[in-house]
Amino acid sequence: MEPVVQISLDLTNIDEALKTASMALRAGVDWLEAGTPLILAEGLHGVRKLREAFPETPVVADLKTMDGGYLEAEMMARAGATHVVVMARAHEETIKCVVQAGRDFGVKVMGDNLACLDMIAGAKRLEALGCDYVIHHIGYDERRGIAARGERKPSPMDQLKEVIQAVNVPVQAVGGLSLEEAVRCPEMGAPLVVLGAPLTIDADAFKTAEGNVEDSLRLICEKVHSYGDVKIEA
C-alpha cells in the first residue's frame, strides 16, 4: 500500500485541534487522529467537528477501547470517525465486538498492542480477531518513567521488524519516535507513519509545538510519500 502520514491531535481543545489539522493537511498529511486527550476533553463533539471541517479526510478516533466495544465503536462511527482503536489487552469478546461494529458501520479497526507482555503475540492476536491494522505502541508513561530512572527508554523500533513479520496487515509504529525514525517506517515495512509528540505536539504541555511545524511536516510528508508502495504480505 502507499504510505500514509497521520497526525495525532493529542490536544485538549477543539479550536487548536482544528487549526493544527488545517496546517497538517496543507503540509500533505493524509489522516487526522482525534487523540485520546482530545476525546477526553471534547468527546464526540471533537470527532464531529473534525468531520464537519474536513469531510473527505479519514479520521482515527483513538479511544483505546477496553470494554463496551460495540457501543463505543458505533458512537465514534456515527460521529464521523473512519477508524477506531481497540486494545490488545481487552477481552477477546471486546475486540470481536469492535470488529463487528466496524463491519456494521463501515469503519476500519486498528488494534493497539500497548502494554502487552509479549508485543508480537499481542499483534498476532489482534490480527487473528479481525483487526484491519496493528498499532505497535510504546506508551507515554512507560517511556518517560523508564527514562526518568536513568534507564534506556524503550522504542517501538526495538521490535518493529518482528511485529511486521508476524502479521499480514499494515503496521503503525507509535511512541516517541524521532523524525528520522518516523520517516524510516515505510522502508522497514510499516506504511502508516504517525506524527505526534514530540514531533508535532509539545510532549509536556499537549499543545502544538513551537517553531515552523508546517515546513517540518511538509518535508516529512514528501519523504514518506516518495517511498512508493509498501508491500504487505497477504
Distance (Å) of CA 138 to CA 75, 116, 120, 144: 27, 10, 13, 10
Mean pLDDT of all residues in 197-209: 50
CA pair distance 162, 136, nearest whole angstrom: 11
Query: Would you say residue 109 has pLDDT above 50?
Result: yes
Mean pLDDT of all residues in 160-187: 94
* Cβ atoms 205, 12 nearer than 8 A: no
**pTM for this entry:** 0.94
- What confidence score (pLDDT) does residue 206 get? 42
- What confidence score (pLDDT) does residue 210 get? 60
Looking at residue 113, what DSSP letter applies? Answer: -
- What confidence score (pLDDT) does residue 214 get? 86
**Model confidence at 202, in pLDDT bands (50, 70, 90)?**
very low
DSSP-derived 3-state class of residue 148: helix
Query: Would you say residue 207 has pLDDT above 50?
Result: no
Q: Which amino acid is located at 85 in the chain?
A: V
Lowest mean pLDDT among 123-127, 180-184, 226-230: 180-184
- What confidence score (pLDDT) does residue 62 get? 98
Per-residue cell: 171: 503496521
For the chain, the average pLDDT equals 93
Alpha helices in the chain (DSSP H): 14-27, 36-42, 44-53, 69-79, 92-105, 119-128, 140-148, 160-166, 179-188, 213-225
CA pair distance 7, 30, nearest whole angstrom: 8
Q: Which of 62, 106, 107 is nearest to 86 (CA)?
A: 62
Class of domain 4-225: alpha beta
Domain boundaries, the chain: 4-225
Mean pLDDT of all residues in 36-43: 96
- What confidence score (pLDDT) does residue 205 get? 47
Distance (Å) of CA 131 to CA 53, 103, 123, 186, 197: 28, 11, 10, 20, 25
